[in-house]
Amino acid sequence: MADSGLFDLTGKVALLTGSTKGMGYVMAEGLAQHGATVIVSSRQQTSCDAAAAAINSACGENRAFGIACHTGHKEQLQALVDRTGAEHGAPDILVGNAGVNPHYGPMSSLDDDAFDKTMATNVKSNHWLAQMVAPGMIEKGGGSIMVTASVGAFRPSTGLGIYGVSKLAVLGLVRVLAAEYGSAGIRANAICPGLIKTDFARALWENPKAAAKVVEGIPLGRLGDAEDLKGMAIFLASPASQYITGQAMTVCGGSDMWR
């Protein structure tokens, strides 16, 4: 059977934040497996190097490179984008996956520092990144921007309120990006995972009662794994999704339908 090329990312450069473990790592690996040159990033260079080495080992070629960056610092994000462009070419694909959740509990007990940290990392850093990569994408004739949101954006929570607020803001951000950059061929979409078994959400899925309650509302009958995000990232990065932009793409086993 002939290869349609719908998922071919050969020659593309993908930059991913929060990509040395969990969902970010799996998405980076998937993009590399389909031909992209992948830049993995997190705070520690040793973690970046280890993740890049693992992806290269899995792909059998020199596909991944690690560049450390703290997404809360604008100058570090600019350095990340500039170095990527200088060494590998301007990004065609951006995956803003870095996120934090420093506060668990009601909004009434949320202090200003936790509020600012959550919104800065989960929202503002992705706004900065979009501004930084857009000129290169425009020059190339298009690109794909993905930002990791959450099904927590769709409903209120008395324990994860500020996290949900930040992820709802992410949905607003990608819609505006889609509207502003669509004429330049740049697509922007949010990826909205349900409860995924990663270190980030360990406190939830390792709690048997909490996990069982979540599974009750999932038609597919299980919690998600990081691997469940790979196909979505490949799809949104590739020509297969060339007419999809401004969307909240749920990866949740059916817990949040018709979003």
**Which stretches does DSSP call E strand in 6-163?**
13-17, 37-41, 64-66, 93-96, 143-148
Give tens-digit pLDDT for 99-154. 999 999 999 999 999 999 999 999 999 999 999 999 999 999 999 999 999 999 99
Alpha helices in 67-207 (DSSP H): 74-88, 112-119, 125-140, 161-181, 202-205
Distance CA 48, CA 21 (A): 9
pLDDT, greater one: 14 or 258: 14
**25 among known catalytic residues:** no
Which of the residue ranges 2-6, 64-68, 152-156, 158-162 would you say has the lowest mean pLDDT?
A: 2-6
Percentage of residues in the chain having pLDDT higher than 90: 89
Residues 88, 39 contacting (CB under 8 angstroms):
yes
* Residues in CB range of 45: below 8 A, 6 or more apart: 66, 67, 68
Across residues 169-183, what is the average pLDDT? 98
Across residues 85-104, what is the average pLDDT? 97
What pLDDT is recorded for position 202? 75
Across residues 7-28, what is the average pLDDT? 98
What pLDDT is recorded for position 210? 81
What structural domains and CATH numbers belong to the chain? 13-251 (3.40.50.720)
Q: Long-range CB contacts (< 8 A, 24+ apart) of 135-141?
A: 136/85, 136/90, 136/91, 137/90, 137/91, 137/92, 137/181, 137/184, 137/185, 137/186, 138/181, 138/184, 138/185, 138/186, 139/90, 140/90, 140/92, 141/184, 141/185
In which band, very low, low, confident or very high, does the pLDDT at 206 lie, cut at 50, 70 and 90? Answer: confident
Task: Decide if pLDDT at 67 tops 60.
Answer: yes
Cα dist. 54→21, 67, 86, 151 in Å? 11, 15, 24, 30
In which band, very low, low, confident or very high, does the pLDDT at 248 lie, cut at 50, 70 and 90? Answer: very high
Task: Decide if pLDDT at 2 tops 70.
Answer: no
Q: Which amino acid is at 71?
A: T
DSSP-derived 3-state class of residue 88 = helix
Across residues 155-166, what is the average pLDDT? 95
In which band, very low, low, confident or very high, does the pLDDT at 1 lie, cut at 50, 70 and 90? Answer: low
DSSP-derived 3-state class of residue 144 = strand
Where is 235: in which H helix or E strand? helix 230-237
What pLDDT is recorded for position 214? 87
In which band, very low, low, confident or very high, does the pLDDT at 3 lie, cut at 50, 70 and 90? Answer: low
pLDDT, greater one: 60 or 255: 255
Tokens of residue 69, six digits: 């960056």
Instruction: Work out the number of other CB atoms within 10 angstroms of the CB of residue 171.
Output: 21
Q: Which of 25, 104, 163, 181 is catalytic?
A: 163
Across residues 13-34, what is the average pLDDT? 98
In which band, very low, low, confident or very high, does the pLDDT at 160 lie, cut at 50, 70 and 90? Answer: very high
**Which stretches does DSSP call E strand in 149-255?**
186-193, 248-251
Query: Which of left, alpha, beta for 105 (phi over 0: left; psi -120 to 50: alpha)?
Result: left
Give tens-digit pLDDT for 41-64. 999 999 999 999 999 999 978 999
Cα dist. 133→73, 199, 219 in Å? 16, 29, 38
